[in-house]
């Protein structure tokens, strides 16, 4: 049986590049297949590109599933690094530029520990934004959504149609809202005993 031309010695491994999911900070996702790789899947950032390494024999459906899993895993790892207030302010300014043409100008953006029923709050008259410390460790797109939400309040104080039209600019609004709703729902579930009979 002749050797597979993709896996012949000296031949490059198959690599595909695709555009990122909407709202992703990376410009492209590159999937590299390897005949040496048997079971493991890994991913890393390379500049503005995400590289996902998978076994060569994986199906297209498995590839898509693993790319999604690895993107979420990378996002979770990156978000574990807690941003300081100065970094949070810089991030808010970047998001304002990206989604509101720089019109939302916060005077301060900071973490607070006294918000247990809200993810964020804003005082438009002062230009101050406060994010709940409970967001720390959540995926970046979720923190960005809450920042964009509060930035929008600097432009439109209430939650009317004009406010929600502004939020449509952020492409991961629905996904982030779903994530936060899941966190709230999980908090309401009864705590089940552990597997060890605790």
In this predicted structure, the answer to whether residue 167 has a pLDDT above a threshold of 50 is yes
Nearest Cα neighbor of 136 from 148, 124, 146 is: 146
* CB proximity list for 139: less than 8 A, separation 6 or greater: 72, 75, 76, 79, 179
Q: What is the pLDDT of residue 1?
A: 39
* CB proximity list for 44: less than 8 A, separation 6 or greater: 50, 51, 74
Nearest Cα neighbor of 91 from 72, 80, 104 is: 104
The owner of tokens 């809200």 is 118
In this predicted structure, the answer to whether residue 108 has a pLDDT above a threshold of 90 is yes
In this predicted structure, the answer to whether residue 14 has a pLDDT above a threshold of 70 is no
Q: pLDDT tens for residues 22-37? A: 444 445 789 999 888 8
CA distance 62 to 181: 28
Nearest Cα neighbor of 135 from 85, 180, 84 is: 180
Q: Residue 114 burial (CB < 10 Å; 0-12/13-18/19+)?
A: exposed
In this predicted structure, the answer to whether residue 7 has a pLDDT above a threshold of 50 is no
Q: Residue 92 burial (CB < 10 Å; 0-12/13-18/19+)?
A: buried
Q: pLDDT tens for residues 115-154? A: 888 999 999 999 999 999 889 888 888 999 999 999 999 9
- Of the pLDDT bands very low, low, confident and very high (cuts 50, 70, 90), residue 85 is confident
Q: Confirm whether pTM is higher than 0.85.
A: no
Q: What is the pLDDT of residue 25?
A: 45
Domain boundaries, the chain: 28-79, 85-188
CA distance 70 to 74: 6
Superfamily of domain 85-188: Metalloproteases ("zincins"), catalytic domain (3.30.2010.10)
Q: What is the pLDDT of residue 45?
A: 79
Q: pLDDT tens for residues 37-83? A: 888 898 887 766 788 999 999 899 999 999 888 888 887 776 566 67
């Amino acid at each position: 049986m002749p050797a597979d031309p993709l896996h012949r010695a000296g031949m490059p491994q198959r690599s595909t590049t695709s555009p990122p999911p909407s709202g992703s900070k990376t410009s492209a996702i590159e999937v590299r297949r390897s005949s040496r790789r048997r079971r493991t899947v890994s991913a890393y950032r390379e500049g503005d590109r995400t590289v996902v390494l998978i076994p060569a024999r994986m199906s297209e459906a498995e590839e898509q599933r693993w790319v999604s899993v690895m993107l979420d895993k990378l996002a979770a790892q990156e978000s574990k690094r807690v941003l300081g207030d100065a970094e949070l302010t810089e991030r808010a300014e970047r998001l304002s530029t990206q989604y509101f043409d720089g019109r939302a100008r916060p005077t301060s953006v900071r973490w607070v520990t006294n918000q247990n029923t809200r993810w964020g709050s804003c005082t438009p008259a002062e230009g101050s934004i406060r994010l709940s410390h409970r967001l720390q460790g959540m995926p970046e797109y979720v923190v960005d959504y809450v920042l964009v939400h509060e930035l929008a309040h600097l432009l439109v104080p209430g939650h009317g149609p004009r406010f929600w039209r502004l939020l449509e600019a952020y492409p991961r609004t629905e996904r982030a809202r779903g994530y936060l709703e899941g966190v709230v729902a999980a908090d309401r579930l009864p705590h089940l005993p552990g597997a060890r009979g605790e």
